Structure 1
Amino acid sequence: MKKQVNVESGPQPLRERILHAAMETFMEHGYVEASTLKIATRAQVSKRELYALFGNKQAMLSACIADRAGRMQFPSLLPPPSSREELAAMLSRLGATALREVSHPAVMAVFRLAIVEAQRAPEVAVTLEAARQSIRTVVRDILVEAQSAGLIGAGDPSDMGNRYLALLWGDLMVSILLRIREAPGAAEIDRRVRKAAEDFLSLYPEPKSPARPRRQSRG
Structure 2
Amino acid sequence: MTGSLFIITAASGTGKTSLVKQLLATTNDLTVSISHTTRDPRPGEIDGHDYHFTEVDAFTSAIGESKFLEHAEVFGNYYGTAEQSVRAQLDSGVDVILEIDWQGALQVKQIFTDATMVFILPPSLSTLRQRLSTRAQDSVEVIEKRLAGAVTEMSQYVHFDYVIINDNFEVALTELKSIIVADRQKLARQQRRYHRTIATLLGNKTTAE
Q: With structure 2 as the length reference, what TM-score do the two structures score?
A: 0.28
Larger relative strand fraction: 2
In terms of fraction of residues, the more helix-rich structure is 1
